[in-house]
Structure 1
Amino acid sequence: MSYKEKKVITIGVVSELTGLSERQIRYYEERKLIFPERTKGGTRKYSFTDVERLVDISNKMEDGMQTFEIRKMEQKQLRQTELREKMLRGQLNAAFNIRK
């Protein structure tokens, strides 16, 4: 796991880094756009990747997008990525005559 993926940053620090209020960050979590981990005590922990994602979400919201549009767009991108990976695995399996 990359250091960018480790969930170690508290919501207060994320707020300072992104310029978003803690309330906005929690709202994006409620809308299923961001997925922090929780400590045993319930504290949210974010990664640097999450911070980048929050900035991207904020920019899209400023451009007039709605949260459901952002989620829908990201789901589409994920499906496309998964399809590309599946096709690539198929091509590699065919090229090297790998059978499952």
Structure 2
Amino acid sequence: MATARNAGSTFAPDDDTPVFVISVAAQLAGMHAQTLRQYDRLGLVVPSRTRGGGRRYSNRDIARLREVQRLSQEEGVSLAGIRRILELENEVEVLRAQVGEMHEELGRVRAALGMSGRVFAAGRAGDVVAVRAGERPRRRFSDSRALVLYGNRRA
């Protein structure tokens, strides 16, 4: 019996939701179910498991199966080579996420320190003077024609 709260709700899986049994996943990927079992044993595509041990594949798993098949058939890459390629792709994905987190943290630190938009120039006596981006050092800091370099910043 459906409650009023979820009576109108529908199931909308995302790319990571394991919804396909092995026979459907094999059909969607265009290969035999035994091939999926072999790829699972080799760790190329690791589906989720039900409580009873049955395999369940997500849309992301299906895409990965297709990529394994493409690399094998069209590019002639061995299964060991494909495993290494997939490992490296996963590593790159993790590193990109870490870089993104570090950029966010750097932005927070700069904001907390009041460093956003600041650049540095050489003062009259050779000292370092902080100025805002796009501004020249004020005459009181320097009456020289000091060169101000603005670096490319990525935030």
Fold match by TM threshold 0.5: yes
Amino acid at match of 1:26: R
Map 1:19-58 to 2 at 5 A: 19-58=30-69
Amino acid at match of 1:33: L
**Distance (whole Å) between structure 1 residues aligned to residue 39 and residue 99 of structure 2:** 32
Higher relative contact order (CA 8 A, sep 6+): 1
CA deviation after TM superposition for structure 1 residue 91, in Å: 2.2
Higher-Rg member (1/2): 2
Which consecutive residues of structure 1, in runs of 5 or more, have no partner in the other structure?
none
| 2:19 paired with 1:11 | no
**Distance (whole Å) between structure 2 residues aligned to residue 27 and residue 47 of structure 1:** 17
| 2:71 paired with 1:60 | yes
Count of residues in Structure 1 that have an aligned counterpart in Structure 2: 99
TM-score by length of 2: 0.58
**Distance (whole Å) between structure 2 residues aligned to residue 86 and residue 79 of structure 1:** 11
| 2:101 paired with 1:89 | yes
| 1:5 partner SS | coil
**Distance (whole Å) between structure 1 residues aligned to residue 54 and residue 94 of structure 2:** 32
Aligned Cα RMSD in Å? 2.0
Q: Which has the higher helix share?
A: 1
- Detail structure 1 runs of 4+ shifted over 3 Å in the superposition: none
% identity of equivalent residues: 24
**Distance (whole Å) between structure 2 residues aligned to residue 57 and residue 26 of structure 1:** 13
TM-score by length of 1: 0.85
